[in-house]
Amino acid sequence: MKRLAVGLAAAFVAGVAAVLMGLLVLLVGFADVDLVPSGSSVRQEGKKAYRAAVAPDVNERRGIRRADRYPHDCSKEKCVALTFDDGPVKGTGRVLDALARAKAKATFFVLGSMAAEEPGMLRRAAAEGHEIGNHTWDHADLSRLPAARIRREIRRTGDLVTRLTGVTPRLLRPPYGASNRRVVRAARSFGLPQIMWAVDPQDWRDHRPASVTHRVLKDVQPGHIVLMHDIQPGTVKAVPRVLKTLKRRGYVFVTVSELLAGELTLPGNEYRERPETEEDV
């Protein structure tokens, strides 16, 4: 019995020593963690300082380029992000032609079911430097679906776009702008921010080119995300005038990722425009 007691005591002491050693290793590890990268330009303004220092690294880990790798600095220039939903269709080609003439970039939120029918148009949009976003497979209202179906809608489209273009969508636009907690959780699981809009010309309801043009030009402001639909012939006809007029007003046309570059975009969060910061004009 005496030997047994001594053995148990020794085992207990060894176990305590191992736990203490593990805690010491953890403490040393945490001491070496630098939440603000060395050499970063940090503002001393609470949470803003943290965001300014780490945002580019966080986004780049998700495949989003740093702000200094884009041609435009949207904190100083009059940027606008034109976005086109529900394609690609044959009419998307005319939109791409107009964008090419204006030397403009845009973001296309594509449906997987439509991309499967027009793979060449999808490849062309990606090859010409436009951003491809995920608009689900068949335009279902995600807020009415169970979690597994939401993930399937997003995954099928993302996988198809990657297979056809070699580019993985980094943005999600839920159909109808309809979102809830299940949609947020699904978007987060795929690392996708939800991109809404600040300007809606309601081209899905009023198809006249003049009406579409008027609503865009009346409501747009620097930093805005504009919703349009390349499946609507009236919108396709309106695009050249929208581009010409906004260009004359001093706007530059960028993708959504370029518009938001330099800002921390969190998966699942909603974005309608570029957040204003002290650096924005």
Verify whether residue 85 is a known catalytic residue.
Answer: yes
3-state helix, strand, coil in the chain (%, to 5): 50, 10, 40
- In degrees to the nearest 10, what's the CA dihedral of 189, 120, 93, 214? -10
Q: What is the DSSP letter of 224?
A: B
Q: Which two tokens stand for residue 103?
A: 């030397």
- Tokens, residue 131: 């951003």
Cα separation of 123 and 121, whole Å? 5
Q: Identify the active-site residue in 85, 86, 203, 230.
A: 85
Asked if residues 241 and 215 have their Cβ atoms less than 8 Å apart, the reply is no
| 86 is an active site residue | no
In the set 72, 203, 229, 230, the catalytic residue is: 229
Nearest to 191 by CA among 166, 176, 171: 171
Spell 203-237 as b/e; 16+ CB within 10 A means b. Answer: beeebebebbbbbbbeebebbbbbbbbbbbebbbb
| Contacting residues for 100 by C-beta, under 8 A, at least 6 apart | 128
Q: Which residues are catalytic?
A: 85, 229
